[in-house]
Amino acid sequence: MSDDPVTGDSTSAEHALQIAFQTMQERCQQLENRLAAVEEENVRLKVEKGTNSSLDVLIVDVSDEEATIQRLQEKVEELTKQKSQLSHHILMVAAENRQLWNRLTRLTRTNKTLGSKLIKISDTLKQHPAGQALETSNSSIKDVPNVVEASQNPGGTQGDASLEEISLRLINSIMMEKVELDSASKKVCQTGTQFDSDDSLREDGTTQTSLPTAVSLESGKVEGPVNQIPDDVQICPMCGAFFGKSVPFEIFHEHVLSHFSTGSVSNSEMLP
Q: Are residues 129 and 216 in the same domain?
A: no
The verdict on 122 and 253 lying in the same domain is no
Q: How far apart are CA 82 and CA 87, in angstroms?
A: 9
Report the predicted TM-score, pTM, of the whole model to 2 decimal places.
0.26
> Per the domain annotation, does 222 fall within a domain?
yes
Q: Is 169 inside a domain boundary?
A: yes
Q: What are phi and psi of 225, to 5 degrees?
A: -65, 160
Q: Is 214 helix (H, G, I), strand (E, B) or coil?
A: coil
Which range, 71-85, 179-193, 250-264, is most confident?
A: 71-85
Q: What is the pLDDT of residue 69?
A: 87
If asked whether residues 122 and 148 sit together in one domain, one would say: yes
Strands in the chain per DSSP E? 234-235, 242-243
Backbone angles phi, psi at 190, to 5 degrees: -65, -40
Q: DSSP code of 235? A: E
Q: Is the dihedral of CA 10, 12, 13, 17 positive or negative?
A: positive
Has residue 2 got a pLDDT over 50? Answer: no
Distance CA 72, CA 258 (A): 101
Highest-confidence segment of 31-45, 132-146, 178-192, 214-228:
31-45
Residues 188 and 215 in one domain: no
Domain boundary among 171, 199, 227: 199
| Cβ-based neighbour number of residue 55 at 10 Å | 12
Return the higher-pLDDT residue of 250 and 122.
Answer: 250
Q: What is the reported pLDDT for 78?
A: 92
Number of domains in the chain: 2
Residue 54 half-sphere exposure toward CB, CA atoms < 13 A: 5
The answer to whether 101 and 85 are in contact (CB under 8 A) is no
Q: Is residue 96 part of a domain?
A: yes
d(CA 171, CA 113): 10
pLDDT above 70 as % of the chain: 53
Contact between residue 42 and residue 83 where contact means Cβ atoms under 8 Å apart: yes
More confident residue, 158 or 234: 234
Q: How far apart are CA 39 and CA 141, in angstroms?
A: 57
Reported as type and span, the H/E element at residue 243 is strand 242-243
Least confident of 111-120, 125-134, 163-172, 208-217: 208-217
Q: Are 257 and 192 in contact (CB under 8 A)?
A: no
Is 11 domain-assigned? Answer: yes
Residues 30 and 115 in one domain: yes
- Beta carbons within 8 Å of 198's beta carbon, 6+ residues apart: none
Which residues lie below 8 Å from residue 17, measured CB to CB, with a gap of 6+? Answer: 104, 108
Q: Domain limits at 218?
A: 210-262
Is residue 227 over pLDDT 50? no
What pLDDT, on a 0 to 100 scale, did the predictor assign at position 161?
57
What is the helix (H) or strand (E) element at residue 234, kind and residue range? strand 234-235
